[in-house]
């Protein structure tokens, strides 16, 4: 009796779909087979005004910072970076910190040597490694160099722009 009831239910179900074509190739639904459409795998083009929506400018750095003269703690150095470079500190972990830099800043890892932190004009503004005790070493925009004149023994001080190598100021003695 159990089998008879199952057989009747099956026949009733088949009668419901009598007019439809049989086979796996027939489309019953008006929905597409790929619900996301063919455009789902296309690359998204970025619009210039979307910078607030994208997080391309998040850069992971080591927690430690090599302190230049005049800074007594890492927290003061981070405050100075926030003011000068407009850096926002997003998250701090045990060995790394995630910072949001202004648009155009990048971290580049060359084939050998430390990773480079570059500003929008491509000038290297910091160097860092990924060892456990790695430190971020910030490089100033301007270099102060001493230069000696071998003919008369006098020296001079140069202020050089690291971006283009141009001498901005020269003192002569």
Neighbours of 66 (CB within 10 A): 15
Q: Give strand ranges (E) for the chain.
A: 58-62, 64-65, 88-92, 96-100, 106-108, 115-118, 124-128, 135-138, 142-148, 155-161, 167-170
Decide which of 147 and 1 is more confident: 147
pLDDT tens, residue by residue, 38-62: 665 565 565 555 445 556 788 889 9
> In terms of domains, do 62 and 120 share one?
yes
Query: 38 in a domain, yes or no?
Result: no
Please give the share of the chain, as a percent, with pLDDT higher than 90. Answer: 7
Neighbours of 148 (CB within 10 A): 10
> In terms of domains, do 61 and 134 share one?
yes
> In terms of domains, do 78 and 103 share one?
yes
pLDDT tens, residue by residue, 2-24: 666 777 787 887 787 777 666 55
> In terms of domains, do 103 and 164 share one?
no
> In terms of domains, do 135 and 81 share one?
yes
> In terms of domains, do 81 and 147 share one?
no
- Element (DSSP H or E) covering residue 82: helix 74-85
Query: pLDDT band for position 89 (50/70/90)?
Result: very high
Domain that holds residue 146: 141-173
> In terms of domains, do 101 and 159 share one?
no
d(CA 87, CA 102): 7
> In terms of domains, do 108 and 168 share one?
no
Please give the share of the chain, as a percent, with pLDDT higher than 70. Answer: 75
Q: How many structural domains are present in the chain?
A: 2
The model carries a pTM of 0.55
> In terms of domains, do 129 and 159 share one?
no
């Amino acid at each position: 009796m159990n089998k008879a009831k199952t057989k009747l239910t099956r026949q009733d179900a088949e009668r419901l779909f009598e007019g439809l074509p049989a086979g796996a190739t027939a489309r019953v639904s008006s929905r597409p087979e790929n619900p996301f459409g063919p455009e789902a795998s296309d690359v998204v083009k970025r619009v210039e005004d979307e910078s607030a929506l994208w997080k391309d400018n998040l850069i992971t750095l080591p927690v430690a910072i090599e302190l230049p003269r005049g800074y007594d703690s890492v927290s003061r150095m981070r405050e100075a970076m926030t003011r000068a470079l407009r850096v926002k500190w997003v998250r701090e972990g045990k060995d790394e910190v995630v910072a949001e830099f202004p648009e155009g800043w990048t971290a580049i890892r060359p084939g050998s040597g430390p990773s480079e932190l570059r500003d929008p004009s491509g000038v290297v503004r910091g160097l860092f490694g990924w060892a456990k005790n790695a430190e971020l070493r910030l490089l100033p925009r301007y270099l102060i160099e001493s230069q000696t004149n071998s003919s008369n023994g006098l020296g001079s001080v140069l202020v050089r722009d690291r971006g283009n190598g141009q001498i901005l100021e020269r003192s002569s003695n």
